[in-house]
Structure 1
Amino acid sequence: MNPESQLRPYPTRRSLLKTAATAAVAAPLLSACVTGGKKDDGEAVATGAKTADNPLGVKADAPLEVVVFKGGYGDEYAVKAESQYTSKYPQAKVDHKGLQKVGEAIQPRFVAGNPPDVVDNTGAGRLDIATLVAANQVSDLAELLDAPAFDEPGKKVRDTLLPGVVEDGTFAGTTVALNFTYAVWGLWFSKSFFAEKGWAYPATWTDMLALCATIKKSGVAPWTYQGKYPEYINDPLLGMAAKTGGLDLVKAVDNLQPNAWKQDGLVQAATAFAELAGKGYLMSGSEALSHTEAQAAWCQKKAAFIPCGSWLESEQKGIAPAGFDMVMGAVPGSAGDKLPVAAVQAASSESFLVPAKAKNPAGGQEYLRILFAKASAKAFAEANSTLPAVAGATDGLTLSSGLGSVRDAVTAAGSGTFTYRFRTWYAPLAKAVDDATGELVNKRLSPADWATRIQKAADALAKDSTVQKYTR
């Protein structure tokens, strides 16, 4: 069984990026900020002299506490970065904690004002980043981003990151989180199985429906999905909508604009997925399946397609049969789309932050400078079949079928990558969308009612003066 599946009842790597209300810890947090070398309670902050070799002013003998989510990727990659930190600062003692329930363990420490120096705020029950930002509990990482890259001379840290990584951790103009992995969403299939059956991956939704009819006649279910967590099937639906309506559609949704969810692109996409369900192209019983159960059924070739992010291959190690050769394709488009057929939804995840009340914030940022080095990212990619957020991290590597297809999808998309940010900004809206889509694909909600239901939730959020709003 996949190690992450054993550790978490909540779904897969999806938890890394997208914040669901049921998974976020949203209890009150104390406001804090760091100024003038002291925390707001007057306690001194560890700082040292800034030099070319120590651009962030690390105090050489200051202890460093690092808390990492120990999920499907484990935490060995983080430990390796800590070893490099102690090699550079041998007097510093590093306290490492690899946890499954980061939010549960760390929230009381935020409230008490004694958080760790670095937190990998990931996994089920992670802290709601928007809540942390509103409470001034996280440090501005601008100095880190403008610091020299650890192992790429002549570049700043920000210059080494893939498109959108800085923006993904930015709230109201301030970057407060840096995400280590780069997730890409699409439709997964077995390259060898398709070759055996003579099936070709469809470029358009019309082609998809025609192929689904052929697949169904062969006795295989065209699609399955992780039914207990409908956010999975939300992704291709929202991806299709973005291709149809372009970035203006995406921004309207994120900016909580009136009637944003009633835009033609979204209603058309909802109609397409209602048709997928109506024609019987979803494997019977998918609604009741967890992510592990649906993915296992797909690996057993009970279904041809499954929607998922780029972490799927890593999760299916030891489950997918030899020669399965899983690959990911971009969500099919339609004639007249505003985004190209190769466009993919992509964003960074595995969110690292430095708490505002950290005792050693300079050490925390220096640790991240080391972690986000190209060599560190390359070793992570090799060990986990996952694309890191550092550009060029897979260069020179012999890639597995899945990771190779993800890398190729990002390359093909070029500037045509996109992402929605409402999930990170507004956890309650994310849950409302997921719930409505679950009802849609199980034929209990029409496309029009799907749009109306979600728009009602978005309007209520827009009118709620207690919720901090963000725009793009």
Structure 2
Amino acid sequence: MHTFRPARPRPAPTSTGPSRRTLLRAAAAGAAAPALAGCVTSGGDDGQPTVARGETSAENPLGVPASTPLEVVIFDGGYGDEYAGHAESIYKGRFPGATIDHKAIQRVGEALQPRFVADTPPDVVDNTGAGRLDLATLVAAGKLTDLTELLDAPSLDDPDTPVRDTLLPGVVADGTLDGKVHTLNLTYTVWGLWYSRPLFARHGWAYPTSWEAMLALCAEIKKAGIAPWTYQGKYPEYLNDPLLAMAAKAGGPELVTAVDNLEPGAWRQQPLRDAAGAIAELAGRGYLLPGSEALSHTEAQAAWSQGKAAIIPCGSWLEAEQQGVTPAGFDMVMGAVPSLGAADKLPYGTIQAASSESFLVPARAKNPRGGLEFLRVLFSRGSARRFAELNSTLPSVAGATDGLTVSTGLGSVRSAVQAAGANTVTYRFRTWYAPLGKAVDDATGELATRRITPEQWADRIQKAADAVAADSTVPKYTR
């Protein structure tokens, strides 16, 4: 279910609430932290609790106190917590005198908010899931540690490479708000179009790289008695992803910036209207599975895996989410969203991607040095690789899955990231301005059911964006 765009944190396994897409849209933000020192403790003159610190060295660049206990809280959702235990064992090997208190919980905000209020938080928190902590509130109250020091520290794998240079494109930006980094996201979500490779092979269908080719393919699929597309109609933000990706490729980074910065007329830019027209064309030509608008994410994905539709838009968590539902031999793969036209400013291989599964270090923790070090361990290649092995999900650490035999879905996501290189785009309006995100979702839902035209879609969203821009009570952010 959805980082600064993000990405959407995974729900608890028993969640019956909003789609994973909705939850993965929450990402990270930032606030300030006290500077490091080489002394053993530093103290409460400024109201901060006394914090133990060890001597810094090449082996201990963050000055972790060797024997101070570490409290780790992990969101016990779709990824479980086994991967965190792997990282904890590495931490314990580095600091054998430290005890680790590991907690796996689901409603993170409900459990930890009282502790943040009382200034007795854990040392590191996986702030993910439907009940996560409100980052904006924590940032405003100065409750979060600035992770810049961690990002500038030498990575565990290579002392000559800082942590920030081991991460995939956009990960640091996903955790940044007002110029400071306060969360670091473990997973890397890519949005695209999914299909069964054997199904396409049996029919001799080639995955299209242009929208013109997509429409031609849809005609062939329909002739074969299969609906070309379905989508998660109760959560039309899923359908927004191909729409917004096509617009970004056509209009380039400046289009995305204009949208996120609430610039006048941003939503009436021609590439956005053209992309809305492309989605409307799917409905107009009868290329959507009848009844899709009433389907939840699980219902639409089940219909797709049963062969009722050939293509579905979704993020890269789809394969893991469909475990136990998708039949053997389905071999799902993800393709980049087709280009809107030959005049696109960005190449076909450009992907919409963002990081998620958000980790933070509370500023008033008893052992924030240990919290930073735990993240240095967790974001090492070995720990990230273990995460990928356990969850069939791409971690945000570059090269973590190199040489690893992976499933067809994860392999296609990895290939898409490698092919895209620096050509990744991420919209941030959804996380910055939730009412605008809902307005976009609602308008796209109407567009897909042909109740409004592409022009009306653009006008409707522009009106909502203008209202946000004019509201002085809403904090404004810029790229």
Aligned residue in 2 for 1:389: 396
- Aligned equivalents of 1:392, 1:233: Cα separation in 2: 30
Give secondary structure in 1 for the equivalent of 2:60. Answer: coil
Q: Residue in 2 aligned with 1:148? A: 154
In 2, are the aligned partners of 1:8 and 1:100 still within 8 Å (CA)?
no
Q: How far is 1:361 from its partner? A: 1.1
State which of 321, 326, 335 in structure 2 corresponds to 1:329.
Answer: 335
Counterpart-to-counterpart distance in 1, 2:305 and 2:193? 14
SS at match of 1:7: coil
How has the CA–CA distance of structure 1 residues 135 and 259 changed in structure 2, closer, same or farther, with 3 Å as cutoff? farther
Give the drift of 1:77.
0.5
Distance 1:201 1:32, change over 3 A: closer
How much does 1:278 deviate? Answer: 2.0
- Aligned match of 2:314: 308
User: For the Cα contact (< 8 Å) 1:152–1:374, is it kept in 2?
Assistant: no
Letter of the 1:144 partner, please give it.
L
Alignment of 1:227-376 (within 5 A): 227-333=233-339, 334-376=341-383
How many Å apart are 1:161 and its aligned residue? 0.8
In the TM superposition, residue 40 of structure 1 has moved relative to its aligned partner by 5.2
* Residue pair 1:256, 1:462 contacting (<8 A) in 2 also: yes
Q: Does 1:105 align with 2:111?
A: yes
CA RMSD after TM alignment: 2.1
Of 137, 140, 144, which residue of structure 2 is paired with 1:138?
Answer: 144
Letter in 2 for 1:385: S
Alpha-carbon distance change, 148 to 290 in structure 1, aligned in 2, over 3 angstroms: same
Whole-Å separation in 2 of the counterparts to 1:125 and 1:440: 31
Change (3 A) 1:315 1:12: farther
Cα distance change on mapping 1:384 and 1:370 into 2, 3 Å: same
Q: CA deviation at 1:12?
A: 5.5
> How far 1:69 moved relative to its partner?
1.5
Secondary structure, in 3 states, of the residue corresponding to 2:314?
strand
- The alpha-carbon deviation at position 409 of structure 1 amounts to 0.9
Q: Secondary structure at the match of 1:116?
A: coil
Letter in 2 for 1:362: R
For residues 392-431 of structure 1, the aligned pairs below 5 Å read 392-431=399-438
Are 1:313 and 1:385, in contact at CA under 8 Å, matched by a contact in 2? Answer: yes
The answer for the alignment partner of 1:43 in structure 2 is 49
Indicate which of 198, 202, 210 corresponds to 1:192.
198
1:457 paired with 2:467, answer no
**Offset at residue 359 of structure 1 (A):** 2.0
Following superposition, the deviation at residue 411 of structure 1 comes to 1.5
Amino acid of the residue matched to residue 430 of structure 2? R
Tell me, which stretches of 5 or more residues in structure 2 are unaligned? 1-9, 36-41
Cα distance, 1:42 vs. partner? 4.2
**Partners in 1 of 2:312 and 2:73 — Cα distance?**
33
Residue 32 of structure 1 deviates from its aligned partner by 8.9
Whether 2:204 is the aligned partner of 1:179: answer no
- Asked if residue 123 in structure 1 is aligned to residue 129 in structure 2, the reply is yes
**Distance across 2 between alignment mates of 1:79 and 1:449:** 51
TM-score, normalising length: structure 1: 0.92
- Deviation for aligned residue 1:142: 0.8
Residue 212 (structure 2) aligns with: 206
Deviation at 1:16, TM superposition (A): 5.6
Helix, strand or coil: the match of 2:74?
strand
Matching residue's letter, 2:249? K
AA of the residue aligned to 1:448: E
Partner AA of 1:177 in structure 2: T
Aligned AA (2:194): W
Map residues 430-449 of structure 1 onto 2, 5 A cutoff: 430-449=437-456
- Paired residues in the alignment total 461
The question of whether the paired residues in 2 share the 8 Å contact of 1:69 and 1:102 is answered with yes
Moved more, 99-108 or 395-404: 99-108
Q: Distance in 2 between matches of 1:365 and 1:174?
A: 15
